[in-house]
Amino acid sequence: MLPGTLEVVLVTSPHAHARIVSIDVSAARAADGVHGIVTAADIPGHNDIGPIFDGEPVLAHEVVDYVGAPVVAIGAETFDQGMAAAALIKIEYEELPAILEIEDALEAESYTYPPQIMSAG
């Protein structure tokens, strides 16, 4: 780690599809070594990092769409302090139906992006 920099730890979703009901970061803010905690509500402007198509939030807001979706970012002096703070964050989810198989996605016409049509001539 470079001198004067912080480690960033992400708290990610354990659910494939869920509504974020609440996020409580109060205990983590007071943890040793923590310099900042960010949720989607703290991001000014457009919360999207999709390189080609819109729809890829930096941090999930209201709904998570996959296991591992980042929900909270913690800036701490060390990785271990960041991980300890992450364990203190309480996120309440309401699980939603998830499509987990390709066949089910095709049947429901649930695509990551609109289908592309290529033609010649």
Digit-coded pLDDT (tens) for 21-32? 999 999 999 999
Residue extents of the structural domains in the chain = 7-108
* pLDDT at residue 78 greater than cutoff 90: yes
Q: Residues in the chain, how many?
A: 121
Q: What is the pLDDT of residue 116?
A: 82
Mean pLDDT of 56-85: 96
Residue 20 near residue 71, CB atoms below 8 Å: yes
Fold of 7-108: Aldehyde Oxidoreductase; domain 3 (3.90.1170)
Mean pLDDT of 92-102: 94
* pLDDT at residue 53 greater than cutoff 80: no
Q: What is the pLDDT of residue 76?
A: 98
* pLDDT at residue 42 greater than cutoff 90: yes
Q: Is 102 helix (H, G, I), strand (E, B) or coil?
A: helix
Residue that the structure tokens 């701490």 belong to: 76
Backbone angles phi, psi at 33, to 5 degrees: 80, -5
* pLDDT at residue 111 greater than cutoff 90: no
Residues 6+ apart with CB under 8 A from 8: 73, 74, 75, 82
pTM of the model: 0.86
pLDDT tens profile 100-109? 899 998 898 8
